[in-house]
């Protein structure tokens, strides 16, 4: 299980690259909300590719293990997002919570849903 926890860390770099893509390319062509939405979609695609390749190397031993991996990745992602976002990036708690407001078109929660179910789905597809 430790290898799957360690395998979460490259996702930080994927997220940073995706964020740079959003800030440097998308925001000059789209509204901030549209850039956020497109960036959410690209993040899901990038995570899918990463997990697909990862599971070609280290396939979880069972569907239950894949579910546990997804839940661990979900917790790590949320903790990182809030701790890094607040204490390193200096964002207020309110600012961090804005990305969870689906009623205002903020769809970041889809990344969190995907990161928690992708291991199970990709495990099933690769079996």
Give the residue among 52, 56, 74 at the shortest CA–CA distance from 5: 74
Residue 122 phi/psi, 5° resolution? -70, -35
Total tally of structural domains belonging to the chain: 1
Percent of the chain residues past pLDDT 70, beyond the cut: 100
Average pLDDT over residues 93-122: 95
Decide if 5 is inside a domain.
Answer: no
Among 53-57, 66-70, 80-84, the minimum mean pLDDT is found in 80-84
Identify which of 2-6, 86-90, 93-97 has the greatest average pLDDT: 2-6
Say what the pTM is.
0.92
Decide if 4 is inside a domain.
Answer: no
Average pLDDT over residues 27-47: 97
The burial class, CB within 10 Å (0-12 / 13-18 / 19+), for 18 is buried
Distances (CA, A) of 35 to 21, 24, 56, 92: 10, 10, 31, 21
Work out the mean pLDDT of the chain and round it to a whole number: 95
Domain that holds residue 106: 11-126
């Amino acid at each position: 299980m430790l290898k799957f926890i360690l395998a979460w860390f490259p996702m930080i770099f994927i997220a940073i690259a995706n964020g740079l893509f959003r800030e440097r390319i998308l925001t000059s062509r789209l509204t901030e909300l549209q850039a956020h939405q497109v960036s959410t979609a690209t993040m899901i695609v990038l995570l899918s590719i990463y997990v697909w390749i990862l599971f070609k190397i280290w396939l979880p031993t069972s569907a239950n293990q894949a579910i546990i991996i997804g839940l661990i990745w979900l917790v790590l992602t949320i903790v990182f997002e809030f701790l890094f976002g607040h204490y390193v990036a200096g964002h207020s708690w309110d600012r961090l919570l804005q990305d969870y407001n689906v009623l205002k078109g903020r769809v970041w929660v889809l990344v969190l849903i995907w990161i928690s179910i992708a291991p199970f789905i990709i495990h099933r597809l690769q079996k």
